[in-house]
Structure 1
Amino acid sequence: METTSRVGAQAPDTEGAEISPAARRTVDGYLLAPFPWYGLDEAFTGPRWLMQVGTTADGSVEHGSIGHGDEPSVRSEGTLHGDATERFAVVVTVAANPVRRSADGTGVLDATSVSSAAWLAGVGLLSYTWPGQMDHTLRDDWLDQQTETAWVLADDLGSADWATLSLPVDGVPTQFHYRESEYGWVLAGSTQAGVHLGAYGRGMSAYGLAFSVVKDIAELA
């Protein structure tokens, strides 16, 4: 997916709350989206936090992520299964766009799909992973290689690398594609609201998750 991170003009303060300039810029991107945002449902009572949105070549908001639990830090492979592992789940909402312009405006890109959500979730998980015994200078090469692998996996959701998992979305049982690795888990599916969902996490089981529309995105600032 060819997108860029975007922060826009300041969004208005929520009543009775003081929002930092950085939070305003983050919230503004979410408020500009013409589609609903998803997160874990009300059964999750822990902290929630906004990440960044991604935009198309014309500046339209196309996807964004909402984190739940501990804000993750980059972890080496050797610490992933230890007691210090953070407990987090990130939900990625992707607009269902049938036509997307290329960055130079001369052509069109593939429509967004469940594979788009799976790839974004896979890359998101990788961004918080650092293989053990790897030198700083080699991580970029490793990340490029793993990003390509994540795309290959996302492009073939029917392969044996993926299992199926039924989870509630707005109370409706919904089929997701699901896979685990030494770095955590990734899943992806579609909603009746016309958006695709991806999710990734560590330390929290994916099997007990449920998703719902975020009623007021500004409350997460």
Structure 2
Amino acid sequence: MDTTGRVGARGALSAPSTSDDVEAGRTPQEDLAGVRRSLDGYLLADFPWYGLDEAFSGPRWLMQVGTASDGTVEHGSTGHGEEPALRADGEQDKQRFAVVVTVAGRPVRESADGTGVMDATSVSSAAWLAGSGLLACTWPAQIERHLRDKWLEQQLAAAWELADDIDGSDWTTLSLPVDGVPTRFHYRESEFGWLLAGSTDAADGRSVSGGNTGVHIGVYGRGMSAYGLGFSVIKDLSAYDH
């Protein structure tokens, strides 16, 4: 697993809203306003972005991209359905969304500052980002403020360990279409929602049609079934830019 990705991924993910946000009565749109990014960051990526395929007819929206220290885009997320937000009114469990995280397939390479080596990205990288993203938007809004940071730290550590052991007994497998090709995904359910993580052929060193750069795909969601999902390259990012 990408040992440098744990710190980098945390910085690139949407930060959880605080209890102050919930107590202030901010709307879901306001909760996400600080982490939404423009289309420009997505257009700088040297890999294709993935989202739910055309079978999904609901709303689509951008979240944000994660970059290396030299500005290279390494991963990013696209949302589908209702934009998730922490809510103190008991309605959080009713939210329906699926977020697709695309992670560039990277080999072992030198760090941007030339002082070390970064491990290759993998399906575990995608699983970690998906697990962290799910926690960021579904953690219990009612938790006491002085316990919040400790709770999140513990849960994120658990998410890291689960991602690192992606072939372990805590995960099952599903076959879901990616660009129409049946693809193996690792799948896990939790009290917060569900997770998927898989890789396109090129990310595993095999060629794919169209010359696309291989990527790893992480997905997290709630209120929508993971079993009927399909994924495809996003041909027009403007469909997400609202």
Bin for the TM-score computed over the shorter chain: 0.7 to 0.9
Counterpart of 1:56 (choices 68, 71, 83) is: 68
2:160 and 2:169 mapped to 1: Cα distance? 15
Is 1:32 aligned with 2:52? no
Paired residues of 1:75 and 1:130 also in contact (CA < 8 A): no
Is 1:159 aligned with 2:168? yes
The equivalent residue for 1:143 is 152
**Percent pairwise identity:** 69
1:133 and 1:23 mapped to 2: Cα distance? 22
Is 1:168 aligned with 2:168? no
Paired residues of 1:80 and 1:182 also in contact (CA < 8 A): no
More strand per residue? 1
User: Counterpart of 1:190 in structure 2: which amino acid?
Assistant: S
Paired residues of 1:46 and 1:68 also in contact (CA < 8 A): yes
Paired residues of 2:65 and 2:74 also in contact (CA < 8 A): yes
SS in 2 for 1:161: coil
1:134 and 1:44 mapped to 2: Cα distance? 34
144-153 vs 123-132, greater mean Cα deviation: 123-132
Cα distance, 1:132 vs structure 2: 6.7
Taking structure 1 as reference, are residues 151 and 68 closer, same or farther at Cα in structure 2, changes over 3 Å only?
same
Number of residues of Structure 1 aligned to a counterpart in Structure 2:
202
Can you list the C-alpha shifts for 1:46-91, whole angstroms capped at 9, x where unaligned? 0000001001121100000000000001257x7665xxx1100000
User: Counterpart of 1:198 in structure 2: which amino acid?
Assistant: G
Q: Structure 2 length as normaliser, TM-score?
A: 0.77
Cα distance, 1:99 vs structure 2: 3.0
Counterpart of 1:71 (choices 69, 76, 83) is: 83
Is 1:117 aligned with 2:119? no
Give the gaps of 5 or more residues in structure 1.
7-21
Once the two structures are superposed, the pairs formed by residues 187-206 of structure 1 within 5 Å of their partners are 187-192=196-201, 193=212, 194-206=214-226
Cα distance, 1:101 vs structure 2: 4.5
Taking structure 1 as reference, are residues 56 and 101 closer, same or farther at Cα in structure 2, changes over 3 Å only?
farther
Taking structure 1 as reference, are residues 113 and 23 closer, same or farther at Cα in structure 2, changes over 3 Å only?
closer
SS in 1 for 2:38: helix
Paired residues of 1:67 and 1:90 also in contact (CA < 8 A): yes
Q: Structure 1 length as normaliser, TM-score?
A: 0.84
More helix per residue? 2
Cα distance, 1:133 vs structure 2: 5.0
Is 1:179 aligned with 2:188? yes
Paired residues of 2:51 and 2:234 also in contact (CA < 8 A): yes
Cα distance, 1:105 vs structure 2: 4.2
Paired residues of 2:107 and 2:120 also in contact (CA < 8 A): yes
The equivalent residue for 1:11 is none
2:158 and 2:52 mapped to 1: Cα distance? 27
Can you list the C-alpha shifts for 1:123-154, whole angstroms capped at 9, x where unaligned? 00000122375202321211111111111000
Is 1:96 aligned with 2:105? yes
Paired residues of 2:78 and 2:100 also in contact (CA < 8 A): yes
Cα distance, 1:197 vs structure 2: 0.2
SS in 2 for 1:207: coil
Cα distance, 1:109 vs structure 2: 2.0
Cα distance, 1:5 vs structure 2: 3.8
